[in-house]
Amino acid sequence: MLKIDDFRDLNGIEIAKRLTLGKHHGVPFHAIFEADESMLVDSAGNLGNIGHPSGYEGKKHMRKMLETGSKTLTPKEVDQLVDSLED
């Protein structure tokens, strides 16, 4: 988990641009990376940044993020996490 303030953190703007591929997405924006620093998935869904995921599309994209980004979560655990999100 890494929190970046693109206004106050040293090199925050450059890091935010790298995470968002130069696009403006709003806050919060999430990305999951491999150990080699390659991005697996981010929170930019079909309707834009899911931010705090809610509703059908937000939860659908969060499920995709969890399934893509975790090698240890079981399908049941993914279901529990997604079901715990409130609209």
The whole-number pLDDT of residue 1 equals: 67
* Res. 83: pLDDT tops 70: yes
pTM comes to 0.80
Say if residues 51 and 27 touch (Cβ distance below 8 Å): yes
Tens of pLDDT, residues 19-78: 888 888 878 888 898 989 899 999 998 888 998 999 999 999 999 999 999 989 999 999
Domain-wise residue ranges, the chain: 12-83
Q: Is the dihedral of CA 67, 70, 73, 78 positive or negative?
A: negative
Tens of pLDDT, residues 5-16: 877 888 888 888
H/E stretch holding 42: strand 39-42
Q: Which one has a higher pLDDT value, 4 or 42? A: 42
